[in-house]
Amino acid sequence: MKILVANLGSTSFKFRLFEMGESEECQLAEGGYERVANHGEAIRDALVSLKNDGVTTPEEIDAVGFKTVLGRNLSGCVEAGDEVIEALEGFADVAPAHNPAYADGIRQFREILPEARRVALFETAFYQWIPEAGRRYAVPASWYDAGIRRHGFHGASHKFIAERSAEMLGRSDVAELVRGLYQAGPRELERPLRVVSCHLGGSSSVTGIRNGIAISTSMGFSPQSGVPQNNRVGDLDAGALPYAAKVLGLSIEEASQQLSSESGLLGVSGVGNDMRDVRAAALKGNPEARIAVELFVHEVRRWASSMLFELGGLDALVFTAGIGENNPWLRAAVCDGLEEWGIALDADKNEGAGRGEARLTGEGARVQVLVIPANEELVLAREVYQKVTNLN
């Protein structure tokens, strides 16, 4: 089955094409367009190139997958029709860089490839089984009814970590449960498996996973919450926004804009939004960059530790995404001084970890520390494949 995974930004369109089957997973092509004024034109152009390059004709594409961020009153892995478009548009203000682009992209694909199945995998889907108490904010009922609750994000990535870490720990029962989660739902398992998954990249989140199911997340109502992001604030006391607007003479919109594009690593360090630059400046003695790095590590540790009570212990701590995969110093800092809790890194394995999966667990340590590379497009292609196979 040929599956096109579409990654849509307000001015970009990127794609990967996969051949997926029961025992075959193969990426056939990838491409992208920046500074796109019209998604439809970019999509048509991509399809022409794929045909000219002899990769595929449009008619051969069986399904298109969309990694949608969040929808109003809708989540899961679902067919991308009017209901999805409406849900995305209902929360356009919450994810302005993504929701309008995906709503547009889904419409465009419906017109351009009418025969292909369209599937949306919401980034919130993995969190649908978080206990109610973990999803609610203590807001008035009218706020809750308006959709103000903890949604969780990076669901595709964390679900993949749930599956892959279970495999690496010899728990094929959990891996199998996770693989079919969106089709079959959760079920009880006799032996617990408790994982904290740290997706640390351009945007970051920490998720607590028990028996393959997310039970806790650092991400809240919008992708602006939790751990500080590259240029977004992370968690902030709600009282700070109106206060800052007043004393700094900003409108609420201007203040919100600063929180979503001039904050995070960039805002604190003043150096840049890429951890490589911030860390390099910190090593050269830039005090603000040093604080930015320390703040990031502090918040990852705060969130990871907050999950241990809920999980009732820990079997594995996993690092994934650009920052988590590529920075031994960061992993060492997150794990520092936790020997008493069964967490210790093997320094050589940590330093030596290159591209790919790695086990960093120190000798005698109880908790497995793992690196698992993120490949969100492949994860999406797998989910779309399962969904479409189930629909047929």
Residues that bind ligand ADP (CB under 6 A): 201-203, 230, 274-276, 321-323, 326-327
Q: Work out how close the CB of 273 gets to ligand ADP at its nearest, in angstroms, rounded to a whole number.
A: 7
Which residue's beta carbon is nearest to the bound ligand ADP? 322
Task: Decide if 137 contacts 84 (C-beta within 8 A).
Answer: no
Nearer to ligand ADP, 123 or 383 (CB): 123
Pick 99 or 320: Cβ nearer ligand ADP: 320
Report in angstroms how near the CB of residue 206 gets to ligand ADP at its nearest.
Answer: 14
Instruction: Report angle CA 377, 174, 323 to the nearest 5 degrees.
Output: 40
| Nearer of residues 10 and 38 to ligand ADP, judged by Cβ | 10
Q: Which residues contact 34 (CB under 8 A, 6 or more apart)?
A: 11, 12
d(CA 36, CA 13): 7
Cα separation, 43 vs 113, in Å, equals: 10
Q: Which is nearer to ligand ADP, 68 or 327 (CB)?
A: 327
Q: How far apart are CB 139 and ligand ADP at their closest, in Å?
A: 29
Report the alpha-carbon distance of residue 22 to residue 17 in Å, rounded.
Answer: 17
Query: CB 6 → ligand ADP: shortest distance, Å?
Result: 16
Q: Decide whether 62 or 377 has the Cβ nearer to ligand ADP.
A: 377
Minimum Å gap between C-beta 323 and ligand ADP is 4
Closer by beta carbon to ligand ADP, 125 or else 330: 330
Q: Please, which residues have CB within 8 angstroms of residue 271's CB and are 6 or more apart in sequence?
A: 277, 278, 281, 286, 288, 289, 292
Give the length of the chain.
392
- State the minimum distance, in angstroms, from the CB of residue 154 to ligand ADP: 9
Please state, in angstroms and rounded to a whole number, the distance separating the CA atoms of residues 12 and 9: 5
